[in-house]
Amino acid sequence: MNTLVTTNVGHCQTLLKNGEVVAIPTETVYGLAAHVFNDAAVGRIFELKQRPKFNPLIVHLHQMAQLDSVVRHIPKKAQKLMEHFWPGALTLILPKHPDVSDLITAGKPTVAVRMPKHPMTRALLQGLDFPLAAPSANPFTRVSPTSAKHVLHYFNGKIAAILDGGPCEVGLESTIVGFEGETPVVFRKGGIAIEALERLVGPVRLFTDNESAPQAPGMLLKHYSPRTPLIISSNIRKRLEACTDKRVGVLSFYADDFPTAETIKVLSPKKDMEEAAKGLFAALHALDALDLDLIIAEAFPEEGLGRSIQDRLRRAAH
């Protein structure tokens, strides 16, 4: 059975109520969603993604009132962050409510929650009396999907439907923030820049990869990976000179003058970091479909969303 690609929100609500898995658009990336209190449906997400059970999921809701059914306590700075950034690309790790199953939290005492901004998914959630558990809609370790087409490529015939909300506005997964007491800790760099968080709540601590292996298992070093080998370079032209015998695809920030490259994807000719973030995963999907020998990606500046982009490229290169 082919997967239905649809804009019919009501139909997707019915499927979700019946315990089906449905792909949903969010402003960050597409998610693979299921009824948060239906363990069989949530279990199916893990199967579909071939995701290890130690990797917990994010709970998606549409209004603050729903928090009571999922979390036990909200630190002051978490409250401030959600009031400012929700709906939006921010996930908070909070002490979990006993009703949230260990399947979702991987047995942790905390749960990840986020209020997405995409209007179609907001409409979808508004018609449901339960939140949705949803990881990104890609098989484990692969590049996240930022369009219905990317999801279809991965899961055609395996899920009932994809709610098609067009290309994702932000294009990077949410920034994940947890708390050590009242101190915010960034577990994953994402669609909201660290600088923006710090302007609101003061200094945050950044988790290192060594720490995050046990703590935030989703932050595995190999992640977001195309099938084609990928390297990062701050001098693409020089790298190209060393690979004249190879079919090389270039992924650049704004430059396009690489005559010996087989193909070039420019993320933002006007050097706009948000535009670059938005197109990043689509460019990786497109380059990966070309059977190239190598992808050379340009190193991004470690500031603002550049840090999140660079994080994804490093994991893609691992």
* Chain residues in the site for ligand TXA (CB under 6 A): 26, 28-29, 31, 55-58, 91, 93, 105, 108, 110-112, 114, 116, 134-136, 173-174, 176, 187-188, 216-219
Q: Is 28 in the site for Mg ion (CB under 5 A)?
A: no
Choose the contact partner of 147 out of ligand TXA, Mg ion, none; CB within 5 to 8 A by kind. none
Q: 3 Cβ partners below 8 Å, 6+ apart?
A: 152, 155, 156, 157, 158, 159, 160, 161, 162
Amino acid sitting at position 73:
H
Residue 43 and residue 161 in contact, taking contact as beta carbons nearer than 8 Å: no
Instruction: Compute the least distance from the CB of residue 2 to ligand TXA, in Å.
Output: 23
Choose the contact partner of 108 out of Mg ion, ligand TXA, none; CB within 5 to 8 A by kind. ligand TXA
> What whole-number distance in Å separates Cα of residue 151 and Cα of residue 144?
9
Choose the contact partner of 175 out of Mg ion, ligand TXA, none; CB within 5 to 8 A by kind. none
Q: Is 175 in the site for Mg ion (CB under 5 A)?
A: no
Instruction: Compute the least distance from the CB of residue 199 to Mg ion, in Å.
Output: 27
> What whole-number distance in Å separates Cα of residue 7 and Cα of residue 249?
34
Instruction: Compute the least distance from the CB of residue 187 to Mg ion, in Å.
Output: 13
Q: Which tokens is 196 given?
A: 């923006």
Please choose, from the candidates 288, 266, 263, the residue with its C-alpha nearest in 3D space to the C-alpha of residue 279. Answer: 266
Q: Which residue is nearest to Mg ion (CB)?
A: 136
User: Cis (ω within 30 of 0) for the bond into 87?
Assistant: yes
Instruction: Compute the least distance from the CB of residue 311 to ligand TXA, in Å.
Output: 12
Q: Is 110 in the site for Mg ion (CB under 5 A)?
A: no
In what helix (H) or strand (E) does residue 243 lie, and over which residues does it extend?
A: none
116 vs 249 by CB, closer to ligand TXA: 116
Q: Is 308 in the site for Mg ion (CB under 5 A)?
A: no
3-state secondary structure 104-173: HHCCCCEEEEECCCCHHHHHHHHCCCCCEECCECCCCCECCCCCHHHHHHHHCCCCCEEECCCCCCCCCC
248 vs 313 by CB, closer to Mg ion: 313
Assign 232 to helix, strand or coil.
strand
Strand partners, 248: 294
To the nearest 10 degrees (0 to 180), the angle between helices 273-288 and 305-317 is 20
13 vs 136 by CB, closer to ligand TXA: 136
Q: Is 26 in the site for Mg ion (CB under 5 A)?
A: no
Q: Which of 66, 136, 225, 228 binds Mg ion (CB under 5 A)?
A: 136
Instruction: Compute the least distance from the CB of residue 257 to ligand TXA, in Å.
Output: 34
Instruction: Compute the least distance from the CB of residue 131 to Mg ion, in Å.
Output: 18
To the nearest 10 degrees (0 to 180), the angle between helices 9-17 and 119-126 is 50
23 vs 261 by CB, closer to ligand TXA: 23
Instruction: Compute the least distance from the CB of residue 263 to Mg ion, in Å.
Output: 26
Specify the stretch interacting with Mg ion by CB under 5 A; choose among 58-66, 115-123, 135-143, 299-307.
Answer: 135-143
Q: Is 13 in the site for Mg ion (CB under 5 A)?
A: no
207 vs 258 by CB, closer to Mg ion: 207
- Which residues are at the interface with Mg ion (CB under 5 A)? 136
